[in-house]
Structure 1
Amino acid sequence: MLSVIEPAALWLFVLAVPLIGTLWLNRAELLRRLSRLRLWLLLVVRLLMLAALVLAIAGLQLGRPVQATATVFLLDVSDSVAPSQRLAALDYIKQAVATADPDDRMAVVVFGARAQVERVAEPPRPLDRIDGLVAGSRTNIEDAIQLALAILPGAMHQRLVLLSDGGENVGQALNAARLAAARGVSLDVVPLVSDRGPDALIAALNAPSSASVDQLIPLTVLIESEMSGSATVQLLVDGQLRIEQPVTLTTGLNQFSLTVPAGERGFRRFEAYLMAPFDTQAANNRAVAFTFVSGPPRILVLTVAVEKVAALVNAWRASGFDVTVQEPIQAPVRPLDLRVFDVVALVDTPASAVPTTLQRALTTYVRDLGGGLLMIGGPQSFGAGGWRRSPLEPLLPVSLDPPVIEERFDLALVLVIDRSGSMNELVDGSRTQLDLAREAAFQASRGLTQRDQLAIIAFDSLAETLLPLQPLPDLFTIEGALSRLTAGGGTNIRSGIAMAAETITTADARIKHVILLTDGISETEYADMVSDLYAQGVTVSTVAIGRNTDPALERVARIGGGKYYAVQQVTELPQIFLEETVRVANRDLIEEPFVPILALPTPWLRDVGALPPLQGRNVVANRATGRMVLAAPDGSPLLATAQMGLGRVLAWASDLTGRWAIDWVSWAEFPRFTANLVTEVLPLSNSDRLSLTATVIADQVEIELTARDAGGLPIELNDIRSWMSGLALERDLVFTQIAPGRYRTVTTIDQVGAYLIQVYATDQAGQPLGNASIGVTVNYSPEYGRMADNPGLLEELAAFTGGRVNPPPTTIFTPTERTVYEVWSVTIPLLWLALALLPIDVALRRLFVPFPDWQAKMLPYTRRKVSGSTETPSSLPDKPPAPPLSEEERIAALLTAKRRQHREE
């Protein structure tokens, strides 16, 4: 069989007409140079070249009929297909393969929610097991057909065989069937008959979309059962079992009502479970729902002294807030768990008491989730609480580094730490005294600023400098020095004090201080050295840990003008070092009466009247990102706020307890003032400028965000931050703009559950627009429903493509009714032919062999051979020479040769 790819190119054969015409018109001149035979040969060669080029352009192909068949088996491995049905499908394939020829080809595609190639096209052989892993929660026949068409070999009879129950719940198989029909590929179907037992399933769990905290939430459970019997319904609220109720099921639809308290404000998730003894399908025994519970704002108070915040907590509760008080170690460390609270308040809490993971979570909670943060001061807050260089410090609206007063360093601090063998004693089952000493040294550095100097010296029998005196280094350098603090031998305190004296006397600092930490009795006397240091302006404090410490340490502290600490609980050591550093530096706390000054007129402060005096404050400085509302007499911030990302932060640089704010606690406006502190940082409520819609299709959730101004015009958004949270799922969402003011994202959820979608956005100017929230529920897949199979769809697919229903396995590899050819392209050989004919064409036109001259030369030899003469050519008489040409004849001959040469060119 001959065929061409581009039939239109055959019109190029008309070029043969001008080719023949040109030769015909110039035949007279050509015959003067070429013989008639050459002229005909030249015409034939050129026509052959033209034919070769035209056929090459047209894509000439040679084909021969083939009888081999390529079959792709599409095997349904979704959860609705029982194991016995899969075994029957494998047996069907085995029977079909037994009748195949060696030239046939087979491939296997397995599919559930997605399709996957189990076996590529290869010579037929039995399929004993399925190795591919696909999600069985859905049935996607369309994806399977498309993948099968993609791997079908060409130049063979083609056939698809679908082995399925037809329970499609993802995609449109008829769309893929149209593609198969357009390619002339038939689709045979083998229905897999279901053999499942009786089923009882939860058809729906209905809950109101919203409720208030003081009401009962009514829930309705709809259960479909194929037989009557006893069962149990369980209800979980936010993952906790709340109700377990026996029920009696009847055949058909059953309805049961439940009620639960709304509980706390927030997003409430409900899960209903059905347990029936006769049920054979457990996957459809679960349903989910959600309700938004509204109520007063929730505040999480974090403090290390719960009893000291009672007045503040009572004031907030009197204002209608829902207040939860916890120690920092009890607080959740996931930002989305913190987001159930509107505001988090850190009340006189040191940084060492707040785990680093919680500090990072609070940063995300404010910046990305729009939560509010209050930092309430006190002796253990701000700089005095070691918050410098903490993960939370950049979030504060105030700086923790007081302004520079002198050009020299503020404090030169030398830590002299005992590393004798006794420091290896365990204190809490896992940490040694030396471990706590390292942590204490690290916490002491938290009380320093960049205007301070630090040195660390360790001693046992001898002293060693772990960190030379230098401006406060970074945390990694300090940690590296402390890593060399390992237990050694004896307790020679004098060697440590001597090295400290040598180090600190050269320092240029306003305050010079040494902290000595030891757990034993010194082997040498060192009080005289401490006295000399004090005479030179260097103070010395001592810290005694353990039961066998030197009684002289208290006397040494008095001699050195410092303070003596007898540590009762060794775990308090890090906080003691921090407090001692803050005390010596004398810059983070000011304890003297003052009256706050209004720095920025604020509506909620105008009507409170005169402000009571405070007895002390934390020393902080202005920060460019902050907005100072109240100030101390020296102009430093007392109350400052800042917008940090999507949330707000407020810093109150004094306490709200009986120590500094004793007059405030008894002030009539105290509840109103503290309530306004919370109101200042409350997250923006659900904005009327942002709206969310969510559509769940199979395992795809499409979320659309619309932003409109007060006039209904679209708003272009600058920053969109969004999250989807649930019991087993937590992920960020990325929105793409699809129209002015409209943004969309699509995410996949393959787990049953109720999910909360939260979106926070800012406009082009960076101003927050508020937030929007919506809930979505993803219940069990239709794969596990009552109508899981669909034999009607299988029959429709077969009819649409000209396939068969339940064909015998022995006919699967028989050729189809179409004639199929194996085709070879001859384009390249034709081009080679045209190229080979080109030099022949040139030779016919340009190459002339002087036959007459050779004939004349060979004539004498020929005559001798014919006559039988044995004479040599030299003995034959010579041909008489031609008479010489005259001058005119010679010129005429040359002119004739020249004209002939021109004609040939």
Structure 2
Amino acid sequence: MSITLTNPYYLILLLLIPLTWFYLFKIKDQTRFRKSILIFFRTLLILLMVLVLTDPKFTKNSDAVNLFYLVDISKSIQNLENDRIKSFIDKTSSHMDEEDKAGLIYFGGNPSLEVALKQEFDAEVMQSEVNSNHTNINSAIQFAIGKLPAQGKNKLVLMSDGNQNIDDVHNSLQLAKSLGVQISSVPVSAWIGDKEIYIDWIETPKNIQLNMPFEVRIVVQSRQKTKSNLVLLRNGDYISAKEVDLKPGKNIFLIVEQVKEQGLYVYKAIINTDQNNDMVYQNNEGISFTQATQKNSVLFVTNEQKEKIPMITALTTQGIKVVTKPPNELPFSMQGYLDYGAIILNDIAARELSYNTMEDIEKYVRDTAGGLVMIGGPNSFGAGGYLKTPIEKALPVFMDIPTTLEFPGLCIVMVIDKSASMAGSISGQTKLEAAKLALFSSIELLNPKDKVGILAFDWEQDWIIPITTADDRVAMAEKLSVLSGGGGTDIYKALVKAHSALKKIPSAKKHIILLSDGMTKEGKFKSLVDKVVKDKISISTVALGQGSDIQLMKKIAKWGEGRDYYTDDIENIPRIFVGETRIVAKEIIIEKTTRPFVSAKNDIIQSLPVHKIPKVDGYIITYPKNSAETILETIHGPLLVSHQYGLGRSVAFTSDLSGRWSKNWVNWDYFAQFVSQMVKWTIRKESPHYYTVDIGRKGDKGFFKVDIIDELNQFSNHLKPKLKVLLPNKNNQTISLEQIAPGRYFGNFPASEVGEYYFNLFGDKSEHLIQYKTFGYSIPYSDEYLLIEPNETLLSELAEKTGGAVLDINTPPEDLFISDSQQKEYGASLWPYLLLAAIAVLIIEITIRKLQTLNRI
């Protein structure tokens, strides 16, 4: 045991002692005895205060070792190595002395403390969660150094393949050296198998011309001689597949391609091999983007034949290329919409679009500057069930309407099939459960003063909720919860019972919604429905699944002056019931002749004779958003509304343009000009600039570099371009690009995720700045799956420069916890005690001097 001064340089202050002596000896009014006492106490006080400043501590020599195991658990490490890693840790830690401490840190793209430093070390079952798609050795070492104590010999044991792909470990190497932290390396085998095959990269031209052949270059790496199947996809569609012969090393394949339509294309190459030969499947595909440019076309979504749609003919005569598709043929990802400048939804119901499709269209408008036009009809807007959907977000109108438009005195009876077939399960949910949800969702939409009844039927009929006011929602939910299925199907008797009850109710409007999933017994339906209609009761029907009597349900709805629905997806049942209830409960559809009036000037109606705007015979009531501009209006609400949504634009025309409600518009001399201007207003704008783009990444940081040249072939300088990045996780970020050279702009984006990235380059509204342009980039698989051998050079460098060693995982050393030099272990500081002593000396000295003064008096 010894004492060490932490701040010995304060000892120079001891020179104050002789100076104090010199000063005190010069005092003449003191006796020699009193001077001696004063000098003694003043010298002791200075000595104690100097020692306080030097911070003395008890120290002893120690052989204690503090050691962290840093274990790489990224995806590049074989699972087979886990047992060997644990065995190495167990065997080396078994040689710890009582003073030694060990801890465990797992790392990949980030470090995580699994076991803190402690003397009773045990590598327990792993609980840490790290990003295994990357390897960041630098952050793991810095994290461990921050957890090491000041006392004892500090060591790190790095167990990794050494293949870092984020950051650089050399950044922490100097820190470890300066702090005396010793790093030993244990090379761990990567996942690479002797028969591994993977796609190194796929290359396509960045820009291509339509109908011109070009090459798709695919590079496949193989560690064996074998046969495999090479598949090529374009925008998710199958293009070709062929058997290829692979030799060890690099294999290059060229496939000739050409495209006929403009747009951004995603090419994906897949190499299919025998699973027994190829250990990892994640690296068996590659992705490349290419851009085919031409004048923008529009996607027209409709269920009608295009020859029968006047709007398509009008757009074509105005020079707009139109591509028509039914809802079930829409792209499976947002990328598929980038081929088009705008999307037109022509009287399409929400139930015909999946929720993912609606999300893709909303992002297409918001993030890629695409256009969206919704044309009205009985299946559009609120009548089509778009309330609270992503499509509603993108449109300039709300699907809900003011409560002042609610229909007074409504009575609605829901007639629900509860036969045995309704107990059938689809995707983990029975049809009857979906129907219950639909019923309650519909009841919630009703005014508490409205009346509602629920009649369930099989062979028999049962009033689950007899006709009553829709105010006690809790009681209704309880009654619905006990509804169960069984028996056959008899629609006729159910309608008879519903009719009998409804005709006695004195409501201004009465309606029946009939749902069934099966065939029914025969009955005189036509005469029955005629009686129902005569009593001023309407009927709508919902046929569920292929087993339902679809034709009969359509006839009942037609005879009953209602609407017929069909779906084979139980998730659509709540949407249908909510949409139908809203149509009945509120006057959403207005079918009477109305002349709209102009409420705002807009480019859409520029140069049109606004005093000759045709009448409409029907439209859907909507409610304009605050950010929207209502261009044409009726007494009940907007007819033509537009607004900017994110980077894109959208338009709502609440009447149809097929002739049912708009025969005056279709026959108008300015019809073609009107629809052309409406669609062109939304279309993604063409840019007058030319671009050379370089997109890449380093580690988890991507870069976007673009050279912008104007139409005069001059660099475009002093722009303020922005980049909206749509990440694989569907989130987006907006990045400002900085000019770094004439005409060249640069920015970084996060690139830690595997998948496809989409970039929309845009500027402000100045005519001198760029307009919207979309690009793509992909990370097909994690860098951890690249065919790379362990980086033994880096692991050796870390050990050599910090005084460590390269260790063999199969031969755990016994001396890992033996310190090569004794370390000082510091005990408690002594300065607090010395400070107390100094204060005591000061008090004694002051007391003596006071006593001396009193004695003189």
What amino acid maps onto 2:266 in structure 1?
A: R
CA distance in 2, matches of 1:431, 1:307: 35
| Alpha-carbon distance, 1:206 to partner | 1.3
Which residue number corresponds to residue 455 of structure 1? Answer: 450
| Alpha-carbon distance, 1:48 to partner | 1.6
Give unmatched runs, 5+ long, in structure 1. 447-451, 469-476, 489-516, 849-899
CA shift in 2, pair 1:617/1:834, >3 Å? same
CA distance in 1, matches of 2:186, 2:532: 96
Q: Secondary structure at the match of 2:202?
A: strand
Do structure 1's residue 11 and structure 2's residue 18 form an aligned pair?
Answer: no
Which residue number corresponds to residue 411 of structure 2? Answer: 415
Which residue number corresponds to residue 569 of structure 1? Answer: 553
TM-align CA RMSD: 5.6
| Alpha-carbon distance, 1:391 to partner | 7.8
Mapping 1:742-757, distance limit 5 Å: 744=747, 746-751=749-754, 753-757=755-759
Mapping 1:292-307, distance limit 5 Å: 292-295=291-294, 297-303=296-302
Q: Secondary structure at the match of 2:30?
A: helix
| Alpha-carbon distance, 1:520 to partner | 2.0
Which residue number corresponds to residue 273 of structure 1? Answer: 271
Q: Is the 8 A contact 1:268 1:293 kept in 2?
A: no
Q: Is the 8 A contact 1:4 1:59 kept in 2?
A: yes
Q: Is the 8 A contact 1:78 1:136 kept in 2?
A: yes
CA distance in 2, matches of 1:805, 1:544: 77
| Alpha-carbon distance, 1:441 to partner | 11
CA shift in 2, pair 1:480/1:742, >3 Å? farther
Q: Secondary structure at the match of 2:727?
A: strand
CA distance in 2, matches of 1:638, 1:689: 39
CA shift in 2, pair 1:14/1:690, >3 Å? farther
Which has the greater radius of gyration? Answer: 1
| Alpha-carbon distance, 1:182 to partner | 1.0
What amino acid maps onto 1:520 in structure 2?
A: V
What amino acid maps onto 2:200 in structure 1?
A: A
Which residue number corresponds to residue 208 of structure 1? Answer: 205
CA distance in 2, matches of 1:53, 1:338: 79
Which residue number corresponds to residue 326 of structure 1? Answer: 326
| Alpha-carbon distance, 1:289 to partner | 1.8
What amino acid maps onto 2:563 in structure 1?
A: Q
Q: Is the 8 A contact 1:7 1:58 kept in 2?
A: yes
What amino acid maps onto 1:10 in structure 2?
A: L
After superposition, the C-alpha distances for 1:831-872 in whole angstroms (9 at most, x for unaligned) are: 122123234324544559xxxxxxxxxxxxxxxxxxxxxxxx
Which residue number corresponds to residue 657 of structure 1? Answer: 658
Mapping 1:304-315, distance limit 5 Å: 309-315=308-314
**So what's the TM-score if we normalise by structure 2?**
0.73
Q: Secondary structure at the match of 1:841?
A: helix
Q: Secondary structure at the match of 1:12?
A: helix
Which residue number corresponds to residue 251 of structure 2? Answer: 254
Which residue number corresponds to residue 698 of structure 2? Answer: 697
After alignment, is 388-397 or 185-194 more displaced?
A: 388-397
CA distance in 2, matches of 1:85, 1:389: 51
Do structure 1's residue 49 and structure 2's residue 45 form an aligned pair?
Answer: yes
Mapping 1:616-631, distance limit 5 Å: 616-618=617-619
What amino acid maps onto 1:207 in structure 2?
A: T
CA shift in 2, pair 1:773/1:4, >3 Å? farther
After alignment, is 125-134 or 5-14 more displaced?
A: 125-134
Q: Secondary structure at the match of 1:71?
A: strand
Do structure 1's residue 228 and structure 2's residue 225 form an aligned pair?
Answer: yes
What amino acid maps onto 2:726 in structure 1?
A: W
CA distance in 1, matches of 2:612, 2:764: 36
CA shift in 2, pair 1:287/1:380, >3 Å? closer
Which residue number corresponds to residue 723 of structure 1? Answer: 726
What amino acid maps onto 1:519 in structure 2?
A: L
Q: Is the 8 A contact 1:590 1:616 kept in 2?
A: yes
CA distance in 2, matches of 1:768, 1:682: 18
Which residue number corresponds to residue 241 of structure 2? Answer: 244
CA shift in 2, pair 1:793/1:333, >3 Å? closer
Q: Is the 8 A contact 1:80 1:789 kept in 2?
A: no
Q: Secondary structure at the match of 1:519?
A: helix
What amino acid maps onto 1:589 in structure 2?
A: E
Do structure 1's residue 833 and structure 2's residue 834 form an aligned pair?
Answer: no
Q: Is the 8 A contact 2:691 2:708 kept in 1?
A: yes
Q: Is the 8 A contact 2:65 2:155 kept in 1?
A: yes
Which residue number corresponds to residue 793 of structure 1? Answer: 794
Q: Is the 8 A contact 2:270 2:286 kept in 1?
A: yes
Q: Secondary structure at the match of 1:412?
A: coil
Which residue number corresponds to residue 499 of structure 1? Answer: none
| Alpha-carbon distance, 1:830 to partner | 0.9
CA distance in 1, matches of 2:433, 2:79: 63
Task: Give the one of 592, 595, 600 matched to 1:590.
Answer: 592
Q: Secondary structure at the match of 2:219?
A: strand
Q: Is the 8 A contact 2:194 2:224 kept in 1?
A: no
Q: Is the 8 A contact 1:100 1:124 kept in 2?
A: no
Which residue number corresponds to residue 172 of structure 1? Answer: 168
CA distance in 2, matches of 1:438, 1:784: 47
Q: Is the 8 A contact 1:418 1:519 kept in 2?
A: no
Mapping 1:509-520, distance limit 5 Å: 519-520=495-496
After superposition, the C-alpha distances for 1:134-179 in whole angstroms (9 at most, x for unaligned) are: 5555443323322332233332123334344433443322222211
After alignment, is 126-135 or 395-404 more displaced?
A: 395-404
Q: Secondary structure at the match of 1:797?
A: helix
Mapping 1:278-677, distance limit 5 Å: 284-295=283-294, 297-303=296-302, 309-316=308-315, 319=319, 321-327=321-327, 341-349=340-348, 365-367=364-366, 369-378=368-377, 412-415=408-411, 417=413, 455-456=450-451, 458=453, 466-467=468-469, 519-520=495-496, 547=523, 554=530, 562=536, 568-569=552-553, 572=557, 575=563, 588-591=590-593, 600=601, 606=607, 616-618=617-619, 639-652=640-653, 654-662=655-663, 673-677=674-678
After superposition, the C-alpha distances for 1:20-60 in whole angstroms (9 at most, x for unaligned) are: 234323365345xxxx3x65344323322211111112222
After superposition, the C-alpha distances for 1:701-740 in whole angstroms (9 at most, x for unaligned) are: 34579999997324497xx854224xxx432225478899
What amino acid maps onto 2:837 in structure 1?
A: L
Aligned-residue identity in percent: 20
Give unmatched runs, 5+ long, in structure 2. 424-429, 456-461, 483-492, 515-519, 542-551, 565-578
Q: Secondary structure at the match of 2:731?
A: strand
Q: Is the 8 A contact 1:270 1:288 kept in 2?
A: yes
Q: Secondary structure at the match of 1:271?
A: strand
Q: Is the 8 A contact 1:402 1:619 kept in 2?
A: no
| Alpha-carbon distance, 1:678 to partner | 2.0
CA shift in 2, pair 1:27/1:648, >3 Å? same
| Alpha-carbon distance, 1:679 to partner | 1.5
